[in-house]
Amino acid sequence: MRIEQFILSVSLFISVLFPLRADADDFYKGKTISIVVGSTPGGSFDLISRAMSRYIGQHIPGKPNVVVQNMPGAASMTALGYVESLAVADGTVFGTFLPGIITQSILTPEKIRANMANLSWIGVVSADYSRVCYGYGPNGIATMKELTDKPRDKPFIIGTTGTGASNYINAQSLSEVFNAPIKIIMGFPGSSEMRLAIERGELDGDCGGLASIPKSWIDQKKAHLFIRFAEKQIQGMPSSAVYIGDLIKRDEDRQLLDILYAGDKLGRPYVAPKKTPPDRIALLRKGFDKTMSDNEFVAEMEKVQEAIFPVTGEEAEKMIAQMRQVKPETLERARKIYN
């Protein structure tokens, strides 16, 4: 009798301990996951998300269907706000947004349409080691000296989707630290529209990821890359793109850039509602991590010239926590970039 009671007790213990895991593994069978993209179709975030949608479902138990939902607006804050507060928090919705919003959420949280504390990080496709600024055309800016020497009444003109966009931060930091004459035109829907404006001569160039610059522009020497924002020089980065840190002379400027470009370390981020059950977040993270090393996904990213430097969801959350520990005086100066 005692043996039977012991076996029954063990069985009950196991049934209590492991049912949630079984439910999580079964949950996604027959379900559809939506990836909310805060930009228009055709841009980098859209291309990456659509590629991911073709593979991540194969790495999640139950093999759910995965679709992309574009939700542009307010420099991707519309999509971020939806994921944070409106989307169903059952593990069937996660989304991506412009990483510049990460820094902005610390400097000017009142301007963000979402509370970053209400988000769970799924992962990051690419820590951004590839950001550069470039001039376009035969008479385009080709060096930092050419940029800083431009007359104030003939500034370097770029376009942006909004103040949370990375190219806005890049351009504003050059203006703040080097007093570069730069004019920023707001309100572009996405990167594809900005590229067309550059070709038409309405914009003088841009700041962005190396892979986002059409290869033909580089091969035909139409795009002149003159500065990069990461110390690491990745494969394919031309020597003409000088590391910004090598040009900085003051410690306070270096500290400023450290906070401004913290978001670059979390490029191409994917997040879910914080209220999503932890076991389902764990499955999404595991599926995301496996997708980053999926040979077919990697090959597809190579075709569209998108680099993969993944960061796990756990690592991303630790980095966010560290960002919140910067000195008040550094934060105050950085706030000027956004105001």
Q: How many domains does the chain have?
A: 2
pLDDT in tens, 280-335: 999 999 999 999 999 999 999 999 878 898 999 999 998 888 777 778 888 888 88
Domain, as residue range, for 48 = 2-127+267-338
pLDDT of 5:
53
The verdict on 27 and 84 lying in the same domain is yes
CATH number of the domain enclosing 140: 3.40.190.10
The verdict on 189 and 284 lying in the same domain is no
Least confident residue range of 24-28, 79-83, 122-126, 293-297: 24-28
The verdict on 144 and 69 lying in the same domain is no
The verdict on 164 and 215 lying in the same domain is yes
Q: Answer whether 0.85 is exceeded by the pTM.
A: no
Quote the tokens at residue 155.
């500034």
Domain boundary among the residues 246, 262, 278 is at: 262
Beta strands at 242-243 and 223-228: parallel, antiparallel or unpaired: parallel
The verdict on 90 and 179 lying in the same domain is no
CATH number of the domain enclosing 20: 3.40.190.150
Percentage of the chain beyond pLDDT 70 is 92
- The contacts of residue 336 (CB under 8 Å, 6+ apart) are 176
Residue 182 has pLDDT above 70, yes or no: yes
The verdict on 144 and 121 lying in the same domain is no
pLDDT of 315:
93
- The contacts of residue 143 (CB under 8 Å, 6+ apart) are 226, 240
The verdict on 147 and 201 lying in the same domain is yes
Name which residue leads in pLDDT, 164 or 283. Answer: 283
The verdict on 109 and 148 lying in the same domain is no
The verdict on 177 and 240 lying in the same domain is yes
Average pLDDT over residues 246-260: 87
The verdict on 20 and 78 lying in the same domain is yes
Domain boundary among the residues 208, 243, 262 is at: 262
- The contacts of residue 291 (CB under 8 Å, 6+ apart) are 52, 55, 56, 59, 297
Domain boundary among the residues 235, 262, 289 is at: 262
- The string of DSSP codes covering 124-156 is ESB----EEEEEESTTS--SHHHHHTS-TTS-E
The verdict on 305 and 237 lying in the same domain is no
- Report the mean per-residue pLDDT for the chain: 89
Name which residue leads in pLDDT, 182 or 113. Answer: 182
Cα–Cα distance, 144 to 127 (Å, whole number): 24
The verdict on 62 and 117 lying in the same domain is yes
